[in-house]
Amino acid sequence: MTTATITDLGQAVEDAAAHLYVWALQDIPQDLRDALARAAEKETSVTGQRVLQTILRNVNVAEDQKNLVCQDTGIAVYYCRVGEGFPLHPARIYEALKAGTERATVEHPLRSNTVHTLTRENTGQNVGYRVPIVHWDFIPDWDGLDVKCVPKGSGSENMSFLKMCVPADGVTGIKKFVLESIVDAGGKPCPPGIVGVGIGGSADYAMHLAKEAIARPVGTRNEDPLVAELEEDLYELLNETGIGPMGLGGDVTVLSVHVEHADTHMTLNPVAVNYQCWAARRASAHVAADGSIEYERDA
């Protein structure tokens, strides 16, 4: 953990975003490194073992040379927990996050991925209309700001799935849909990775929950024991598919399955699946009301 203090609060948020975007792309968290090492220990496929050893070398080389773990710098996604007493309006927070993303892209430099959805023309230095993407949670009786940056590459993001199950499908229907989704994805999302599953709410909120799930540290379990049991069941089920590292066959198809849920309407059962590739990049910072910043690697 490192700490810095900046008097201009908007500048502090911008600096945090600029640092987090590059840091997440260069240095993956220890929990993910440990999960990849455990995967290499259990993988019996020769090809799968070679893939995992190459991934582990890639992680170390990126750290040693201060380079990127993957050429796809992704789309910048931030999760912000804003205290009601934090003295910077969310509109100004968003401006600072956008400026920090653009600055990081220019200063590193990073590949610029953001384009207009119809013309496909580049819209800037990883910024554009409604980009970066920011998710907000507002916390009472607190004056801080937590920012988590989760760059999301297109290979894994393309492997996103949603089904409006009916309540009669039950837990079996949820498992069946998740299994079908991962089998359909095959090697496209660069396995082994983290599978995020969102259940309940509405169609859009279920996908939000699935994406929230992939941002959790590897192997963490939902506080609801029934949901935690589902996570374990899905983890075992998906690793029985034989898809293996990079889809080339093997024992380890996923490093973890995380499920987030919300209550829903009595006639609904939305289920969303979002895949995070093996380079499950994330980095976090806490910005205090006085402008001091604490960077946290593994949050």
Tokens of 59: 């992680």
**Angstrom distance (rounded) from CA 190 to CA 288:** 37
With contact defined as beta carbons under 8 Å apart, do 151 and 77 qualify? yes
Domain range annotation of the chain? 2-25+70-151+281-296, 154-276
**Angstrom distance (rounded) from CA 261 to CA 248:** 32
pLDDT tens-digit profile of 148-200?
999 999 999 999 999 999 999 999 999 999 999 999 999 999 999 999 999 99
**If one looks up domain 2-25+70-151+281-296 in CATH, what number appears?**
3.30.1330
- The H-or-E segment that residue 251 falls in is none
Query: Edge-to-edge strands of the sheet including 269-276?
Result: 160-165, 269-276, 193-201, 254-264
pLDDT tens-digit profile of 225-252?
999 999 999 999 999 999 999 999 999 9
Equal CATH topology for 2-25+70-151+281-296 and 154-276: yes
pLDDT tens-digit profile of 202-212?
999 999 999 99
**Angstrom distance (rounded) from CA 15 to CA 19:** 6
CATH assignment of 154-276, given 1.10.10, 1.10.3470, 3.30.1330, 3.30.70?
A: 3.30.1330
pLDDT at 2 over 80: no
What pLDDT was estimated at residue 98? 98
pLDDT tens-digit profile of 248-286?
999 999 999 999 999 999 999 999 999 999 999 999 999
pLDDT at 6 over 60: no
